[in-house]
Amino acid sequence: EVQLVESGGGLVQPARSLRLSCTASGFTFGDYAMHWVRQAPGKGLELVSSISWNSATIVYADAVKGRFTISRENAKSSLYLQMNNVRAEDTAFYYCAKGMGAPRTQLWLPFDYWGQGTLVTVSS
């Protein structure tokens, strides 16, 4: 059974940093693209960042470019999101999502499994 478990959320002050983690199980983590998707309370979904299976391709939403960094450790089946200089508008649930498709293929595929999310609240 595929499982994605996010952690690291919480209350953080504006301009500070936070690191989110996603631990995966039930599939060969190193073979698939991974993504972070966020959802502000009561709002829609927004793709924050994506990383290919081998970390060769990384993309960011314009809203977080230059502030957030996505990374992965395939040996630990783990995905990370380093969030620097956070802003009030970064307040959201952050979901880790697995890319669909055959192993070691392109990044631009649907998200077939999602974690339960971790809430990040940016406030002084």
Partner 1 sequence: SIELTQPPSVSVSPGQTASVTCSGHKLGGMYVSWYQQKTGQSPVLVIYQDKQRPSGIPERFSGSNSENTATLTISGTQPMDEADYYCQTWDSTSGVFGTGTRVTVL
Query: For binding to partner 1 (CB under 8 A), which residues are involved?
Result: 35, 37, 44-47, 50, 59, 61, 95, 100, 108-112, 114-117
Question: At its nearest, how many Å lie between partner 1 and the CB of residue 116?
Answer: 6
Is 65 or 76 the residue whose CB approaches partner 1 more closely?
65
- Find the Cα–Cα–Cα–Cα dihedral 95, 96, 101, 104, rounded to 10°: 150
DSSP per-residue string spanning 33-79? -EEEEEE-TTS-EEEEEEE-TTSS-EEE-TTTTTTEEEEEEGGGTEE
Question: At its nearest, how many Å lie between partner 1 and the CB of residue 9?
Answer: 14
Is 66 or 75 the residue whose CB approaches partner 1 more closely?
66
